[in-house]
Structure 1
Amino acid sequence: MFESERCTRRSVVLSTGTLALTALAGCSGGGGGGGSENDGGGGESQSDGGTATETESGDGGGGSGGGTPSFDGWMENVGNYDGVVDETGGDEVTVAVGAEGNGGAYAFGPPAVRVSSGTTVVWEWTGQGAQHNVAAESGGFESDLSAEEGFTFEHTFSESGTYTYVCTPHRTLGMKGVVVVE
């Protein structure tokens, strides 16, 4: 009887954990992670067969009104996603790590940016929401984990394409982002 009692406790704990993560992520359907895994690319560019190619649904996706790119569902459970922010023409763009979203400080701000080829994206930690990192789905770049306010990581995007990335510990909460390079 002890063994079956332990199995029941384990089942309850696992079920409770799963329900809590689902509630935190705000999932209402069977999407889970929102898109397929991209383990086979090896390179950074995902414009040809990568996880999230840009699928326009409306006005071209720029700004925060009208239609927004779906990125093949990649941004489905990203709570603060409101379209692609156009940052083309600049040499450097800053994205906050630990921005408000997804039920706490579990977001990138902005979560989707459009930049010109040769632009350096600098991710800067807010110090909120525990330890975060920035990791490309393609494996092209990855920062260290940090919770330190002001910690930065940068990557220069030299080739056109759509690059998807996550905070590995908070991926299931919807802490995901996209850089569209023109």
Structure 2
Amino acid sequence: MVEMFSRRTFLRSTAATATISLLAGCSGSGGDTGSDGGSENGDDSESTTESTPTAEQEQASFDGWFDRTDNYDGVHDKTDQDSVTVTVGAEGNGGGFAFEPAAVKVSPGTTVVWEWTGEGGTHNVLERENGLFESELTAEEGFTFEYTFEDAGEYKYVCVPHETLGMVGVVVVE
């Protein structure tokens, strides 16, 4: 009887420790600074322009659009590029269920190209509010879909099959 109690206690504490460790890993900032320590105060001048959101962008939080997304790391400023690629089926939300980067800022006239990794099953890209753009559903690695943004605004989009998992994104056109 004593041995069985000890085994149960061990299994319970191991499961609790594993759960806490897993949750702690999920709640960390997913910043792409490339350093192991990084500064929580945003003092890393290299990452400030690329992956750390500005105070205004972080405050807006797109009305909670990214609340269920674990790979949102701010708005990536790509306003100096004619074409921007977003990965479809990137690692996030428990598997290949993310767009990477989740949010980009581009200039009017920029073409955004979504490129499939082949991970996470069948995906698509659908502009949520007005259906302004929609790709086909596919799991094919290397498949691409593109849309050229002409008008300023925020364009929220989803992968319909995995929206509830947090596979959502935003293109900000300024």
Q: TM-score, normalised by structure 2?
A: 0.67
Structure 2 residue 127 is the aligned partner of structure 1 residue 136: yes
- Flag the structure with more relative contact order, 1 or 2, with Cα contacts below 8 A and sequence separation at least 6: 1
Corresponding letter in the other structure for 1:82:
D
| Letter matched to residue 112 of structure 2 | V
Confirm or deny: 8 A CA contact 1:122 1:154 kept in the other structure: yes
**Counterpart AA for 1:129:** G
- Is the contact between residue 106 and residue 173 of structure 1 (CA under 8 Å) also seen in structure 2? yes
TM-score (norm 1): 0.65
Aligned to 1:175: 167
Question: In structure 2, the residue corresponding to 1:133 is in which secondary structure?
Answer: coil
Flag the 1:63–1:170 CA change in 2: closer, same or farther, 3 A.
same
Aligned to 1:169, the other structure's residue is in SS state helix
Residue of 51, 54, 67 corresponding to 1:76: 67
Counterpart position of 2:77: 86
- Structure 1 runs of 4+ off > 4 angstroms? none
1:47-62 maps to which residues of 2 (within 5 A)? none
1:153 equivalent in alignment to 2:140:
no
Tell me the amino acid that sits aligned with residue 103 of structure 1: G
Deviations 1:7-45 (A, max 9, x none): xxxxxxxxxxxxxxxxxxxxxxxxxxxxxxxxxxxxxxx
Residue of structure 2 in register with 1:113 after alignment: 104
1:97·1:123 contact (CA, 8 Å) conserved in 2?
yes
- Determine if contact 1:62/1:84 at 8 Å carries over to the other structure: no
1:65 is matched with which residue?
Answer: 52
Q: Quote the Cα distance in structure 1 between the aligned partners of 2:143 and 2:150.
A: 23
Whichever structure has more helix as a proportion of its residues is: 2
Identity of aligned residues (%): 64
Q: Which amino acid in structure 1 is aligned with residue 144 of structure 2?
A: T
Give, in whole Å, the separation in 1 of the partners of 2:80 and 2:143. Answer: 25
| Structure 2: gaps of 5 or more residues | 1-47
The amino acid across from 1:147 in the alignment is A
- 1:79-129 deviation digits (Å, cap 9, x = unpaired): 100100000021100000000000000000001000000000000000000
Q: Quick one: distance in 2 between partners of 1:120 and 1:76?
A: 27
1:50-85 deviation per Cα after TM superposition (whole angstroms, max 9, x unaligned): xxxxxxxxxxx9643364240010111111001000
Distance 1:140 1:162, change over 3 A: same
Distance 1:108 1:65 in 2: 17
